[in-house]
A = this chain, B = another copy of it.
């Protein structure tokens, strides 16, 4: 009854990530794609998670976290984001380089070390990509945002969050000073940053940046 493992933690985190910025529950095939495993592996693991009361799922139905599953998922997200923040703040990592390291360390650090890192960093509320860091009690400080691809033309706002999925994009954005906290304006396909800088974004890029409303 180990009850947890890196695999279980990654499943819970990925199920949660899907509903963090959009509301529809995740399907097995999307989950399989995100985790880079075969659909049959998802069926099997989801069955196990359901047996442990971490998700609800009936055959051919959607997958939803239970309260217990959500709380476990938030714990993993917290570890992931605090590790990313630590790597950038203390260890000289660029924000495009932290994800893979955090993906592993999130399963390896103890509660005690997590607490020490959190204290050391001054209990940050957001990670380097602007993702909110769940607090130890599970609460999250959230800010209303618009996804760039859904923002009206000419919309101006502060960058709140940038998806950390594409390191290439993160490097391009860093090069022209676009990061969380910076004021920008959307003009068609290009995003105007400070000091007259601008980046042209493709469809994927416009699905990776969130501004204040």
| A–B complex contacts, Cβ < 8 Å, 12 sampled | A87-B113, A91-B116, A91-B117, A93-B116, A100-B110, A101-B110, A101-B112, A104-B110, A105-B108, A105-B109, A107-B108, A108-B108
Smallest distance from the beta carbon of A32 to chain B beta carbons, Å?
A: 21
Give CA–CA (A120, B110) in the complex, Å.
22
Which chain B residue has the least Cβ–Cβ distance from A110? B101
Smallest distance from the beta carbon of A86 to chain B beta carbons, Å?
A: 10
A91 touches B108 (CB 8 A): no
Interface size class of A (residues with CB under 8 A): 10 to 19
A92 at interface by CB-CB < 8 Å: yes
Within 8 A of B (CB), among A73-125: 87, 90-93, 100-101, 104-105, 107-110, 112-113, 116-117, 120
Question: Given the complex, which residues of B lie within 8 Å of A112, measured CB to CB?
Answer: 101
**5 closest A-B pairs (Cβ-Cβ)?**
A108-B108, A91-B116, A104-B108, A105-B108, A101-B110
Smallest distance from the beta carbon of A114 to chain B beta carbons, Å?
A: 11
Within 8 A of B (CB), among A29-45: none
Which chain B residue has the least Cβ–Cβ distance from A97? B112
